[in-house]
């Protein structure tokens, strides 16, 4: 299994989940999960709190071993892939802030190049890290200690580190949760462009249905730890799904800028 150090990634790769069961101790969180991710795709995992999104993300990143089922990359079980090689293929950003200690923004982003180095960073590594900071709009913070940054800025440092890692699969858990509206849109637009340019893939768990509808190619909707639906975003994100999975009434409206989800609560409206 080959991976590259530069930005040009042209070989198609496939990530596949088959019959995944996962949980903690005797408590099963997700059951019988089947999903595939092809090169060039953005796939979003949706579901209410406790539906198993983060558990599934950790399993895909080889942090948790499945209780049943397999996860493969090009038919190779991820548990059989060398850890350093796996870090070149999968870039993970967790839901909670990564601890960077007293490192500067630059040093923290440069850590993304660690899988490609033995002793010291090359000029290419430095250039890739610099480009990642520019794309995440944090290049002006390069010498600031991460410990002094806001939550949203730290989240962008984590995303820039993943960009510098230059993986084939970006796997993010709530990548925009700490970002303001402008940075949410900018970040997802940048990430989608990178995916399409490089032939990489992105899997992200998130709550914002409108962002998922706008930026996803496919959606996996979870309900009670099982697959409610998997397929094209507009086919899965429907008023019926929103009612069944989230227990919320909604209306999906067309606008000149695309579809928009308006969620409402009739009982709350009557009280107001």
Domain boundaries, given as residue ranges, for the chain: 14-237, 247-272
How many residues in the chain? 272
The CATH number corresponding to 14-237 among 3.40.50.150, 3.40.50.1000, 3.40.50.620, 3.40.50.300 equals 3.40.50.300
Q: What is the DSSP secondary structure assignment for residue 225, as one 8-state letter? A: T
pLDDT tens per residue, range 199-217: 999 999 999 999 999 999 9
pLDDT tens per residue, range 31-65: 999 999 999 999 999 999 999 999 999 999 999 99
pLDDT the model gives residue 68 = 98
Candidates 59, 84, 53; CA nearest to 71 is 59
* Residue 97 DSSP SS3: coil
Place of tokens 């033995």: 118
- Its pTM stands at 0.91
Report the sign of the C-alpha dihedral through residues 131, 133, 138, 142, in that order.
Answer: negative
pLDDT the model gives residue 97 = 67
Q: Are 21 and 226 in contact (CB under 8 A)?
A: no
pLDDT the model gives residue 9 = 53
Report how far residue 161's alpha carbon sits from residue 262's, in angstroms, rounded to the nearest whole number.
Answer: 35
pLDDT the model gives residue 271 = 42
Low-confidence ranges of the chain (pLDDT < 50): 2-7, 270-272
Place of tokens 């080889």: 62
């Amino acid at each position: 299994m080959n991976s590259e150090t530069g930005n040009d990634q042209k070989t198609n790769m496939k990530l596949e989940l088959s019959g995944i069961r996962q949980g903690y101790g005797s408590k099963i969180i997700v059951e019988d999960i089947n999903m595939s991710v092809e090169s060039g795709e953005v796939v979003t995992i949706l579901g209410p709190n406790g539906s198993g999104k983060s558990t599934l993300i950790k399993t895909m990143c080889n942090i948790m071993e499945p209780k049943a089922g397999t996860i493969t990359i090009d038919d190779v079980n991820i548990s059989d892939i060398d850890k350093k090689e796996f870090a070149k293929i999968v870039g993970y950003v967790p839901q909670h802030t990564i601890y960077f200690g007293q490192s500067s923004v630059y040093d923290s982003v440069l850590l993304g190049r660690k899988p490609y180095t033995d002793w010291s960073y090359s000029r290419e590594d430095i250039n890739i890290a610099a480009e990642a900071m520019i794309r995440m709009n944090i290049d002006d913070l390069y010498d600031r200690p991460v410990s002094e940054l806001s939550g949203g800025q730290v989240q962008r440092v984590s995303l820039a580190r993943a960009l510098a890692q230059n993986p084939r699969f970006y796997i993010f858990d709530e990548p925009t949760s700490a970002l303001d509206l402008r940075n949410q849109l900018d970040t997802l637009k940048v990430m989608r462009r990178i995916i399409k340019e490089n032939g990489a893939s992105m899997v992200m768990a998130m709550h914002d249905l409108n962002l998922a509808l706008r930026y996803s190619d496919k959606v996996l909707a979870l309900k009670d730890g099982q697959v409610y639906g998997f397929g094209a975003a507009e086919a899965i994100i429907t008023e019926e799904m929103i009612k069944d999975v989230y227990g919320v009434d909604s209306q999906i409206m067309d606008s000149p800028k695309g579809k928009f989800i308006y969620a409402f609560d009739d009982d709350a409206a009557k009280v107001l």
